Amino acid sequence: MSEPVNPSVDSPEYPPELARLPPGRHGLPREFVARNQRERLIAGLAEAVAEQGYAGTTIAHITRHAAVSRRTFYEHFSSKDECFVAAYDTVMAELRRRVDDAFNQEDEWPQAVRAGIGAMLEFLTAEPHLARLSMVEALVAGPVVVERYDAAIQGLVPYFEAGRKGRPAEVLAGLSPSTEEALVGGMVSLISRRVFADRTEELESLLPDLTEFALTPYLGSAEAAKVARQG
Amino acid sequence: MASKSTPRPLPGQHQLSREFIAQHQRARIVNALALEVSEKGYRNVTVADIVKRAGIARNTFYGNFGSKEDCFLAAQQFAMSAALGRVVEAAGEIDDWPYRVEAGLAAFLHFVAEEPALARTCMVDALAAAPTSVRYYEESLQSFVSLFRLGRDVSPHGGKLPETIEEALIGGVFWIIYQRLLEEQPERIEELLPELVEFTLTPYLGADRARVVAVEGDGASAASGSRG
């Protein structure tokens, strides 16, 4: 088994907050110096939550990981919740950027779906702590984050709706209005169950299954399977 | 069993056994928690709120549950086993698999529409309560997997379906119901039946056949053999 290639710490691919985030398989060095305190606090929260879980994380944990004072924390955030929201938004923005890039690089919609799913799985596999923060801890981090979580999932709907374009009339007639919602809900459920069970390393192997699941309503089983299994 | 000191009888409940009173208290506490959580959200509910609503002593709460989280899990498990019971009862009556799935889904949706507070506890609040409740939610999805998996036997390409298809389909169904519950439209839940039937049957039977089952009517007509 070869280790996946990850961007290096100072790669422009990583925004500063994420570059400071807890080392996953890539082994980002802790001595990497963040550019400002807010970024350090966000990274500190992600490290603390990875260690303690959301409920067990205190402001003292966050400031210790961020190596800033308690006063500095309160200059940027009024509470742990607010800091978590900032971290969640940072992670999701990065995830969305990667999915967008992968999706837009493909000319054909079925291949674009496959690439988008692949990009998401790759990110979550490479960053198990961030996967946990965004898919498990987010759910217990209070109503504000749960609302954002729901919105983030519903935000994936348009990638699938794009698949209706140019489909034959009899296929379109068979797609109910909630098809896309059900697809994203099903995919997220499959992914989050593995993240929850600390089986993040299995995520990338889900690519063919998730692709086939997502494409079947539009292309039928046989064609969906073909796209899903192509290298 | 027999204790030497006679327990002081509760007012108006002299004839009831200790076990009955204990059971009854448990149910009352769980119910109080469900109501409090649906009004304030899990995080804002305190043990004091639950105790007040249930009309019991704080000691009684801790005699039944170790914590608020414990109590929430009991509520969630009660709600989920009630829902599953309905599904198993409805689906078990039907041999023809596509109609069996339809009957199971119909029973589940009916439960959600009839008991929105209980459904909310196990499908909405459970996801935002505690890691243990999220884990239980995820595990309860698995209970539905076996019902769907039988579809592989009647599918022309059952052997080639992805290993995870059932998990994904059930996750999708739950997500749609969860969204409608968040929108606080429990009365519209049962209208989802045809789309959910079609969505879940399509991978096994193809879109055309799935649509036929979905538009044919409810599980009850299938059960009485009035279709076709």
pLDDT tens digits, one per residue of B5-26: 444 544 444 566 777 667 788 8
CB contact residues (below 8 A), chain A span 42-61, against chain B: 53, 55
Question: What's the whole-number mean pLDDT along residues B206-216?
Answer: 88
Chain A residues with CB under 8 Å of B179 CB are: 150, 154, 181, 185
- Return the structure tokens found at B46: 């305190």
Asked if the Cβ–Cβ distance from A217 to B202 is below 8 Å, we say yes
pTM for the predicted model, two decimal places: 0.79
Amino acid identity of residue A228, one-letter, is: A
> Which residue has tokens 């697809």?
A183
Give the tens place of pLDDT for each residue, B132-171.
888 888 788 877 888 899 999 999 988 889 999 999 999 9
Least confident of A202-211, B114-123, B192-201, B204-213: B114-123
Question: What's the whole-number mean pLDDT along residues B28-49?
Answer: 87
Domain B18-66 top-level CATH class: mainly alpha
- Count how many domains chain A has: 1
Look at residue A196 and tell me whether its pLDDT is greater than 60: yes
Let me know if residue A110 belongs to a domain.
Answer: yes
pLDDT at res. B227: 38
Let me know if residue A11 belongs to a domain.
Answer: no
- Return the structure tokens found at B184: 């606080």
Determine how many CB atoms are found less than 10 A away from the CB of residue B72. 26
* The dihedral sign for the CA sequence A100, A118, B136, A47: negative
Question: What's the whole-number mean pLDDT along residues B86-91?
Answer: 92
Chain B contact probe: residue of A139, A146, A211, A218 with most B CBs at under 10 A: A139
Asked if the Cβ–Cβ distance from A182 to B176 is below 8 Å, we say yes
pLDDT band for position A230 (cuts 50, 70, 90):
confident
For B91-116, b where at least 16 C-beta lie within 10 A, e where not — what string?
Answer: beebeebbbbbbbbbbbbbbbbbebb
CATH code of residue A197: 1.10.357.10
Q: For domain B73-223, which CATH number applies: 1.10.287, 1.25.10, 1.10.357, 2.40.50?
A: 1.10.357
Question: What's the whole-number mean pLDDT along residues B65-90?
Answer: 91
pLDDT band for position A25 (cuts 50, 70, 90):
very low
- Return the structure tokens found at A37: 């305190």
Chain B residues with CB under 8 Å of A177 CB are: 195
Let me know if residue A8 belongs to a domain.
Answer: no
- Return the structure tokens found at A23: 């080392």
Let me know if residue A77 belongs to a domain.
Answer: yes
Let me know if residue A87 belongs to a domain.
Answer: yes
Asked if the Cβ–Cβ distance from A185 to B176 is below 8 Å, we say yes
Q: What is the ipTM of this complex?
A: 0.78
pLDDT band for position A14 (cuts 50, 70, 90):
low
Least confident of A96-110, B40-54, B115-129, B142-156: B115-129
- Between CA B200 and CA B209, with CA B205 as vertex, the angle to 5 degrees is 95
Look at residue B68 and tell me whether its pLDDT is greater than 80: yes
Q: Which residue has the higher pLDDT, B209 or A59?
A: A59
Q: Which residue has the higher pLDDT, A37 or B14?
A: A37
A204's CB contacts (< 8 A; 6+ apart) are A118, A121, A122, A125
pLDDT at res. B224: 42
Asked if the Cβ–Cβ distance from A182 to B163 is below 8 Å, we say no
Look at residue A195 and tell me whether its pLDDT is greater than 80: yes
Nearest CA in chain A to B43: A142
Instruction: Report how far residue B43's alpha carbon sits from residue B37's, in angstroms, rounded to the nearest whole number.
Output: 8
B30's CB contacts (< 8 A; 6+ apart) are B71, B74, B75, B78
Of A201-215, B78-92, B145-159, the range with the highest mean pLDDT is A201-215
Let me know if residue A4 belongs to a domain.
Answer: no
Domain extent listing, chain B: 18-66, 73-223
Look at residue B2 and tell me whether its pLDDT is greater than 90: no
* The dihedral sign for the CA sequence A171, A174, A176, A179: negative
Look at residue B60 and tell me whether its pLDDT is greater than 90: yes
Question: What's the whole-number mean pLDDT along residues A36-42?
Answer: 85
Q: Give chain B's mean pLDDT.
A: 83
pLDDT at res. A2: 41
Q: Which residue has the higher pLDDT, B210 or A12?
A: B210
Q: Alpha carbon of B54 to those of A200, B8, B26, B35: distances in Å?
A: 42, 20, 10, 10
pLDDT at res. B26: 87
Instruction: Report how far residue B42's alpha carbon sits from residue B39's, in angstroms, rounded to the nearest whole number.
Output: 9
pLDDT band for position B223 (cuts 50, 70, 90):
very low
pLDDT at res. A28: 42
Nearest CA in chain B to A228: B162
Give the tens place of pLDDT for each residue, A89-137.
999 999 999 999 999 999 999 999 999 999 999 999 998 889 999 998 8
A227's CB contacts (< 8 A; 6+ apart) are A110, A111, A114, A211, A212, A215, A219
Give the tens place of pLDDT for each residue, A50-89.
899 888 999 999 999 999 999 999 999 999 999 999 999 9
Instruction: Report how far residue A114's alpha carbon sits from residue A93's, in angstroms, rounded to the nearest whole number.
Output: 20
Q: Which residue has the higher pLDDT, A25 or A199?
A: A199
pLDDT at res. A173: 84
Range of the domain at A35: 16-229
Asked if the Cβ–Cβ distance from B195 to A189 is below 8 Å, we say no
Chain A contact probe: residue of B142, B164, B189 with most A CBs at under 10 A: B164
Give the tens place of pLDDT for each residue, A143-176.
788 889 999 999 999 999 999 998 999 889 888 8
